C-alpha cells in the first residue's frame, strides 16, 4: 500500500494486477514492452511473451472465455497484426474482463509509423480509455476491466510514449480476487460463422448506447469550468498541458471514446473559439468541425499534424514563448540516433554481406535495421515486421537475381515463417539471412522460443531454427558465426549463386547479453 514512483507502463500493469487478472499476454514493442515485464517480475500472475501480437490477442481471448480477467498489451502497430481477432472479438463479445493496453508512439521515437489506435477502437465499436497521467493510467485500467465485464466487450486503454515512459506517483491498492473459472459453451456467441454474424453485429450495435451511458456514469469526460470565451478540448496527456497554461479557460477533459456529441455541443455552445489538443490524428477535431465554426487544431494548421504534440507546441500556440520548453534545450543537445553497439554481430554480418554483392537487400525490423545507416548502408527497404522475405520474393519474381532478405530471430518467428513457406511454395530464388542473436535485442532482450526461456524466466523447449527452415522445404540451410567473416562470406556468395530458397543463419548472441547467456 502507499504511493510509489512508477513508469506509466508499470501503472497500467499494476492496475491490471489489482483488478484481479489471471493472465497477461504480449509481444514486445516500445513503448508498451514494460507492461508485461512489470507483471512478470512483480506479481504472481501467470503471463507469456507470445510469438506475435495476433497470437497474444487470441491467447488472451481464450483466457477471457474461461470467465477470467486478462490483459493483452502491445505497441500500436502490433494491433495491425492482431486486427483480425480484434475486430471479430467485438462481435463475439468477451466473458472475463478483457483489456487491451496499447502503446501509441506519436513522434515515432521507436516505430515505423505514428498511427492512432483510437481509430481502431472506433472501427471495432469498442470503448477506448485514454489516461492523462500515471495514476489515471492505473485507475482507468482497473475501471476498464469492470466496463469490459459490464458490456461484454474488450476495452482499449490507449496510451502514448510520453506517459508510458515517464515516472509519476501512483497509489498502490489491494489486489482483487480472480474470477472463478466459468467456461460455458455458447455457440451463437462463440462461433463467428456467417449464420451468426448479423445477430452478433446487431448485439454489438445495441451495445453502443450502453457504452455512452457507461462513459457518462463514470464521468470520464468532464468539463472544468472557466471564464474565457476560448475553450480547450484536451484528450489524454494533453489535459496536463492545458492545465499548465494556468489560464482560466474552460476545458473539456476527454478520457474516454466514443465521445457523446451532445457533451461537445453543450461545451462549445457559448464559446467563440475552441482549441483541440490531442496526440495522434485529429479524431476529435474532425468531429468538432461539424459542431463549431471556429476550431483551432491540427487540421487548421495551428498545431503540428505530424510528430508529438509536446508542451512546447501548445505553449507556442498560446504564445507563451518564454515558458521553459524543450525546444531551447534541443539547440544544445547533440542528436543521439540509435547505432549498432560496439561488437554487434549484425555489423560483422553486414560487412560480409556487402562484399558478397547482392543486387538488393530487403530488410526487416530489429536492431539490424540500423544496418541501413552509413557507413554500412547494407539494406535497401524496410516496411514492417516479417516483410523482408515476402518483399524479396516479390522482387525476385520479376527476374531480379541475387536478392537477399535479412531478418532477426524474433522477427522470423513473429511473421517470417509463413513468408518462408510462401517463398518455397512459389519457387522463389532468394537468399534468406536470419540474424540470430538469441534475443529480442531491440526492445530490451526479451527471450524468444529459440532460447527456450519463458517470460517468467522458466526453462521451456527450444525451437531449432535450422530444423524449422529445413522442414519448410528450403534448398539449403547453413549456420555461420558472423565473427568468422571468411566462412560467412563464402556461404553468402555460394547461396546467392544458388537457385531456390537458401537460408543462412548468422548465429552469435547479442554482445550485451552474451555473458549472461553463458552463465
Ligand atoms: C508489429 C510490431 N511489433 C513489435 C515491434 C517492435 N519491435 C521492433 S523490432 C522487434 C524485434 C526485434 O528482434 P529480432 O528480430 O530478434 O532482432 P534484434 O533486435 O534482436 O536484432 C520488435 C519486437 C514492431 N516494430 N512491430
Q: What's the grid cell of residue 83?
A: 486486427
Co-location of 351 and 239 in the same domain: no
- Give the residue, out of 114, 442, 509, with the most ligand 1 atoms within 8 A of its beta carbon, to mutate for a pocket test: 442
Domain assignment present for residue 337? The answer is no
- Give the residue, out of 120, 410, 505, with the most ligand 1 atoms within 8 A of its beta carbon, to mutate for a pocket test: 410
Domain final residue, candidates 321, 356, 385: 321
Q: How far is the CA of 302 from the centre of ligand 1 (A)?
A: 35
Query: How do residues 406-426 score in pLDDT, each as one tens digit?
Result: 999 999 999 999 999 999 999
Distance CA 13, CA 19 (A): 10
Q: How far is the CA of 216 from the centre of ligand 1 (A)?
A: 39
Co-location of 118 and 70 in the same domain: yes
Co-location of 229 and 173 in the same domain: no
pLDDT at 315: 85
- Give the residue, out of 161, 365, 507, with the most ligand 1 atoms within 8 A of its beta carbon, to mutate for a pocket test: 365
Residue 403: exposed, middle, or buried by beta-carbon count in 10 A (0-12, 13-18, 19+)? buried
Co-location of 51 and 74 in the same domain: yes
Distance CA 283, CA 97 (A): 27
The pLDDT of residue 321 is above 60: no
Find the radius of gyration of the CA atoms of the chain: 25
Query: How do residues 357-406 score in pLDDT, each as one tens digit?
Result: 999 999 999 999 999 999 999 999 999 999 999 999 999 999 999 999 99
Query: How do residues 130-165 score in pLDDT, each as one tens digit?
Result: 999 999 999 999 999 999 999 999 999 999 999 999
Co-location of 235 and 207 in the same domain: no
Domain assignment present for residue 114? The answer is yes
Co-location of 158 and 267 in the same domain: no
Q: How many domains does the chain have?
A: 3
The strand ranges marked E within 341-422 are 360-362, 403-408
Domain final residue, candidates 170, 186, 217: 217
Domain assignment present for residue 335? The answer is no
Co-location of 76 and 210 in the same domain: yes
Domain assignment present for residue 334? The answer is no
CATH of the domain at 453: 3.40.50.970
The pLDDT of residue 324 is above 60: no
Query: How do residues 19-66 score in pLDDT, each as one tens digit?
Result: 999 999 999 999 999 999 999 999 999 999 999 999 999 999 999 999
Co-location of 306 and 392 in the same domain: no
Q: Which atom of ligand 1 is nearest to the CA of 77?
A: 1
Domain assignment present for residue 193? The answer is yes
Residues with CB under 6 A from ligand 1: 27-29, 75, 77-78, 81, 112, 365-368, 385, 408-411, 437, 439-443
Co-location of 411 and 460 in the same domain: yes
Distance CA 477, CA 456 (A): 32
Domain assignment present for residue 303? The answer is yes
Co-location of 188 and 206 in the same domain: yes
DSSP class of 471: H
Domain assignment present for residue 331? The answer is no
Q: By residue range, what is the domain housing residue 410?
A: 345-518
Domain assignment present for residue 21? The answer is yes
The closest of 114, 116, 115, 64 to 90, measured between CA atoms, is 64
Residue 83: exposed, middle, or buried by beta-carbon count in 10 A (0-12, 13-18, 19+)? middle
Co-location of 233 and 208 in the same domain: no
Q: What's the grid cell of residue 137?
A: 493510467
Amino acid at each position: 500500500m502507499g504511493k510509489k514512483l512508477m513508469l506509466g507502463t508499470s501503472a497500467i500493469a499494476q492496475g491490471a494486477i489489482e483488478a484481479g487478472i489471471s493472465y497477461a499476454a504480449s509481444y514486445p514493442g516500445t513503448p508498451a514492452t514494460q507492461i508485461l515485464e512489470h507483471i512478470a517480475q512483480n506479481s504472481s500472475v501467470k503471463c507469456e511473451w507470445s510469438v506475435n501480437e495476433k497470437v497474444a490477442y487470441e491467447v488472451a481471448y481464450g483466457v477471457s472465455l474461461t470467465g477470467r480477467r486478462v490483459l493483452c498489451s502491445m505497441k500500436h502497430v502490433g494491433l495491425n497484426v492482431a486486427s483480425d481477432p480484434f475486430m471479430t472479438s467485438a462481435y463475439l463479445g468477451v466473458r472475463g474482463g478483457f483489456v487491451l493496453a496499447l502503446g501509441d508512439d506519436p513522434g515515432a521515437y521507436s516505430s515505423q509509423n505514428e498511427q492512432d489506435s483510437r481509430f481502431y477502437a472506433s472501427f471495432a465499436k469498442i470503448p477506448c480509455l485514454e489516461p492523462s497521467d500515471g495514476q489515471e493510467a492505473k485507475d482507468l485500467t482497473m475501471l476498464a476491466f469492470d466496463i469490459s465485464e459490464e458490456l461484454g466487450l474488450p476495452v482499449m486503454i490507449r496510451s502514448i510514449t510520453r506517459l508510458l515512459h515517464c515516472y509519476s506517483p501512483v497509489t498502490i491498492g489491494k489486489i482483487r480476487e480472480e474470477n472463478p473459472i466459468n467456461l460455458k459453451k455458447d455457440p451463437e456467441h462463440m462461433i463467428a460463422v456467417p449464420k451468426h454474424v448479423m445477430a452478433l453485429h446487431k448485439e454489438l450495435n445495441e451495445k453502443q448506447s450502453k457504452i455512452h451511458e457507461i462513459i457518462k456514469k463514470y464521468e470520464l469526460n468532464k468539463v472544468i469550468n472557466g471564464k474565457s470565451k476560448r475553450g480547450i478540448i484536451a484528450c489524454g496527456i494533453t489535459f496536463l498541458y492545458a492545465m499548465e497554461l494556468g489560464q482560466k479557460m474552460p476545458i473539456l477533459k476527454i478520457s474516454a471514446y466514443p465521445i457523446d456529441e451532445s457533451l461537445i455541443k453543450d461545451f462549445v455552445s457559448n464559446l467563440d473559439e475552441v482549441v483541440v489538443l490531442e496526440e495522434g490524428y485529429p479524431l476529435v477535431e474532425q468531429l468538432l468541425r461539424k459542431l463549431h465554426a471556429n476550431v483551432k487544431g491540427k487540421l487548421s494548421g495551428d498545431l503540428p499534424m505530424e510528430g508529438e504534440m509536446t508542451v512546447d507546441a501548445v505553449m507556442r500556440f498560446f504564445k507563451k514563448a518564454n515558458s521553459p520548453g524543450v525546444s531551447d534545450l534541443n539547440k544544445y543537445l547533440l542528436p543521439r540516433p540509435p547505432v549498432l553497439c560496439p561488437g554487434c554481430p549484425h555489423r560483422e554480418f553486414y560487412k560480409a554481406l556487402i562484399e558478397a554483392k547482392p543486387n538488393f537487400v530487403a530488410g526487416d525490423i530489429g536492431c539490424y535495421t540500423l544496418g541501413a545507416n552509413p557507413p554500412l548502408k547494407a539494406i535497401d527497404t524496410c516496411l514492417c515486421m516479417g516483410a523482408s522475405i515476402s518483399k524479396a520474393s516479390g522482387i525476385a519474381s520479376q527476374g531480379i537475381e541475387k536478392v537477399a532478405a535479412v531478418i532477426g530471430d524474433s522477427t522470423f518467428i513473429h511473421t517470417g515463417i509463413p513468408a518462408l513457406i510462401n517463398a518455397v511454395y512459389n519457387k522463389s530464388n532468394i537468399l534468406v539471412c536470419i540474424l540470430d542473436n538469441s534475443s529480442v535485442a531491440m526492445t530490451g532482450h526479451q527471450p524468444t522460443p529459440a532460447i527456450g526461456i519463458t517470460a517468467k524466466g522458466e526453462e521451456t523447449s527450444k525451437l531449432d531454427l535450422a530444423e524449422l527452415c529445413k522442414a519448410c522445404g528450403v534448398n539449403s540451410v547453413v549456420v555461420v558465426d558472423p565473427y568468422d567473416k571468411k566462412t560467412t562470406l563464402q556461404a553468402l556468395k555460394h547461396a546467392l549463386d544458388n537457385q531456390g530458397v537458401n537460408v543462412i543463419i548468422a548465429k552469435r548472441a547479442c554482445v550485451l547479453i552474451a555473458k549472461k547467456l553463458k552463465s
